[in-house]
Amino acid sequence: MRLHVVPLPSCRRPSIRAILAVLLGAAALAVPGQAVAHAAEYDGFIDVTPSNADAEAIGGLDPRLPTDPGVLGAALSAARADRVAPTRYSALLHQYWLVRGTEASGIDLATWDPNAGLIANATVVDRVYENYGRYQRERAELYWSGMAGMAGGSFAAGFWDLDMGRTVLGVDAVHALGDAVASSIRGLPAEVMSLVPSDVRTLATVGPAITAEDVDWYQKRLLKMQKHIYFDMVPMHEAYLNDGRAAVEEFAAAGLFDENARIAWEGVFSGTKTGYADALFRMASREQNQIIADQWDVTAAARDGVGRALTYATTVAAQPSVPGSGAPGKAAPLSVTGYVDGRQLRLRAPLPAFNWADREPRWEYIVSDIAPSYQQLVETRPGEMQTILAMPFRDFVDTQRVVRRIPDLVRDLSTGWELVEVQ
């Protein structure tokens, strides 16, 4: 006997949408609730390409990332727990330790704006360098941070000199330097003008016409570079100080390091003075040749000669605050030789032979003068190093002010020129 099956009236063919809904619901039930909660913690904080990586705008790495360390820390822990690839949460990791660093430095990251000028950033400038010094005082192996904190004394002094009523490396002082150089150039025979380097001629011609707006622009360029260095260096140092080698290796896993930085940190981990010194030079190279090199290039090329005039003027006036290091004009004095009308002539002047904004000579000056001087200080006179870094930073800055020596500097620029025939 054949059975005749009659479909029940209530059973209709399920729709595709209904089937998908059932399957998705089953999938949701199959995923542990804890994993779903984890994903919510870091939602929106992974695969972020920072929009403020060069630190030229207000705030942190990117406005999509919070500046609350609790929120960032929870998101980071959740991403790790869910085994998210470190390269995907690199910006989150970077921002977390940046926030931890600014918090330890006493800086409000959310309101840090280099475009606001020096007065608005005066306390921030001090705390940036105080924090570098703190790293060195707490951990003897962190040579680079100690040098950064100490060299920051002359850098910060330049900030204040630039802003001091628009005098003393402000408008009046740049005019004075330009006038002094122009006067000396006018004393040279016309036929030897070809021996005078272009930066010297630019300072002589553009310097006397520098405006307050030019100085304000230049000062803000320096503030941006200061913030950029901090953005790069402080997170990794803060991570190391708090969580040691494993925290630094997470930076490497996240792609925040290149090979030079990895080797530098291996030097820090080595436990040897040789390794610490190698890290000093490698981190200094990262700072100057990678982090802010492009920003110096842009600054020097800007404003129809104003950038060159101001970068050279501040090179002329610089007085490094690391004991044992020499001013640019002493470490690399200007001496050029050339043929004029069949005669070989040498021109010497009380000026630096380079502009700090230029990559190769800037690095040569650091690697041959400032960094070796700091290495010698930290290894042979650690007590002196500790004393300097423990000074109230503003007091230390006051000892570096160009205001105390600008009359002598202008006099030297007017009198120390020499033109001789080479036999």
Residue with tokens 């059975």: 3
Per-residue model confidence (pLDDT) at position 362: 95
405 pLDDT above the threshold of 70: no
What the block records as the tokens of 191 is 């036929």
Average pLDDT, the chain: 86
Nearest to 286 by CA among 341, 356, 208, 231: 231
The alpha-carbon radius of gyration of the chain (Å, integer) is: 29
At 26, the pLDDT band (50, 70, 90 cuts) reads very low
Beta-bridge mates of residue 349: 334
Overall average pLDDT of the 146-173 stretch: 70
Per-residue model confidence (pLDDT) at position 376: 98
The alpha-helical segments, DSSP class H, found in 164-244 are 171-186, 198-206, 212-243
CA 104 to each of CA 33, 99, 100, 127: distance values in angstroms, whole numbers, following the listed order? 35, 8, 6, 10
Residue with tokens 């700091």: 374
- pTM for the predicted model, two decimal places: 0.86
DSSP string, 8-29: -TT--PPPHHHHHHHHHHHHHH
CA pair distance 281, 143, nearest whole angstrom: 9
247 pLDDT above the threshold of 50: yes
Per-residue model confidence (pLDDT) at position 266: 98
What is the helix (H) or strand (E) element at residue 343, kind and residue range? strand 343-352
Higher pLDDT, 402 or 375: 375
CA pair distance 212, 150, nearest whole angstrom: 29
- Give the single-character DSSP code of 33: H
38 pLDDT above the threshold of 80: no
Per-residue model confidence (pLDDT) at position 201: 94
Per-residue model confidence (pLDDT) at position 414: 67
170 pLDDT above the threshold of 80: no
4 pLDDT above the threshold of 50: no
99 pLDDT above the threshold of 90: yes
Per-residue model confidence (pLDDT) at position 162: 60
At 18, the pLDDT band (50, 70, 90 cuts) reads very low
pLDDT tens, position by position, 294-348 = 999 999 999 999 999 999 988 988 878 899 998 888 889 999 998 888 888 899 9
Overall average pLDDT of the 47-70 stretch: 98
Q: Which range is least confidently modeled, 28-37, 44-53, 81-90, 122-131?
A: 28-37
For 161-168, the CB contacts below 8 A with 24+ separation are: 161/317, 161/401, 161/402, 161/403, 162/118, 162/215, 162/218, 162/219, 162/222, 163/117, 163/118, 163/119, 163/219, 164/403, 166/212, 166/215, 168/401, 168/402, 168/403, 168/406
CB 129 within 8 A of CB 142: no
Per-residue model confidence (pLDDT) at position 113: 98
CA 90 to each of CA 94, 95, 195, 256, 388: distance values in angstroms, whole numbers, following the listed order? 6, 9, 51, 7, 36
Q: Give the percent of the chain with pLDDT over 70.
A: 84
